[in-house]
Amino acid sequence: MDIEDRQEERNGPVKQFQTTNRFQEKLVEARQANDHTKIDKDFNGVCYGCFKNRYVRASIFDICQHCMSKRGHETILKVAGKKWSMYCFFCGTIQDNIFILNARLCDSCNRIVARNNKHIRKKGLKSIHPFYKKLKHDFGKDYQILMQNGTNVNR
């Protein structure tokens, strides 16, 4: 007997999405009704990065406006927010007008995002960002103390 069959005996039919309330059910219904955002039983759906029908997983990532203009808006699940100036996970450079997206990516597109994420976390944003580079050039290595207002310094 399979695990899913045993689970079906105990808890009824196996659900593809675990939902806790009516609002989540409505959200899942709306996404599954759309051809570009739905996934089938084997988690095959349309990838946001390469627009191919593949095995996809949903994730959250930062993307710049230039990388966003090359891709369509159909497969975006949610625009989670905006940032002024940040590292783009797709092209690996620091750009203005960053969007935080919730979308589904295939394995090869996820690998690009994971590689850039690993790079920025290893190196640190302040060693790459031009604003912090200029601060360090102007004020030296103690620029963080010099830029404070002086009320929280304990000496």
Residues making contact with Zn ion (CB under 5 A): 47, 49-50, 64, 67, 88, 90-91, 106, 109
Residue length of the chain: 155
Instruction: Compute φ and ψ for 62, nearest 5 degrees.
Output: -95, 140
- Which CB atom, from 101 or from 109, has the smaller least distance to Zn ion? 109
- Which CB atom, from 19 or from 102, has the smaller least distance to Zn ion? 102
Tokens matching residue 133: 């580079």
Q: Which of 90, 37, 93, 92 is nearest to 68 (CA)?
A: 90
Q: Measured from the CB of residue 96, what is the shortest distance to Zn ion in angstroms?
A: 11
Burial class of residue 20 (count of CB atoms within 10 Å of its CB; 0-12, 13-18, 19+)? exposed
Q: Measured from the CB of residue 105, what is the shortest distance to Zn ion in angstroms?
A: 6
Coil/strand/helix, residue 9: helix
Q: Measured from the CB of residue 69, what is the shortest distance to Zn ion in angstroms?
A: 10
| Largest CA-CA distance found in the chain, in angstroms, rounded | 70
Q: Measured from the CB of residue 81, what is the shortest distance to Zn ion in angstroms?
A: 16
- Which CB atom, from 19 or from 95, has the smaller least distance to Zn ion? 95
Contact 64, 91 (CB under 8 A): yes
Q: Measured from the CB of residue 134, what is the shortest distance to Zn ion in angstroms?
A: 22
Tokens matching residue 126: 């302040």
- Which CB atom, from 27 or from 91, has the smaller least distance to Zn ion? 91
- Which CB atom, from 31 or from 89, has the smaller least distance to Zn ion? 89
Burial class of residue 128 (count of CB atoms within 10 Å of its CB; 0-12, 13-18, 19+)? middle
